[in-house]
A and B are shown apart, each in its own frame.
Chain A
Amino acid sequence: AQSVTQLDSQVPVFEEAPVELRCNYSSSVSVYLFWYVQYPNQGLQLLLKYLSGSTLVKGINGFEAEFNKSQTSFHLRKPSVHISDTAEYFCAVSDRPGTASKLTFGTGTRLQVTL
Chain B
Amino acid sequence: KAGVTQTPRYLIKTRGQQVTLSCSPISGHRSVSWYQQTPGQGLQFLFEYFSETQRNKGNFPGRFSGRQFSNSRSEMNVSTLELGDSALYLCASSFDTGGHGYTFGSGTRLTVV
Contacts and interface: CB of A to CB of B under 8 A. Distances in A.
B107 interface: yes
Nearest to B94: A100
B99 A49 contact: yes
A84 to B, nearest CB: 18
Contacts, number: 65
Contacts of A104: 45
Secondary structure type dominating chain B contacts: strand
Contacts of A45: 104
B42 A105 contact: yes
Given A43-B90, A90-B43, A49 B105 contact: no
Interface of B: 4, 6, 31, 33, 35, 42-45, 48, 55-56, 58, 90, 92, 94, 96, 98-107
18 contacts: A34-B101, A42-B107, A43-B106, A45-B104, A46-B102, A46-B103, A51-B99, A100-B99, A100-B100, A101-B31, A101-B56, A102-B56, A103-B43, A103-B45, A103-B102, A105-B42, A105-B43, A105-B44
Contacts of B55: 99, 101
Range, interface on chain A: 20 to 34
The 7 closest A-B pairs by CB, nearest first: A43-B104, A105-B43, A44-B104, A51-B99, A43-B106, A100-B99, A46-B101
Contact of A102 (B4, B58, B106): B58
B101 A43 contact: no
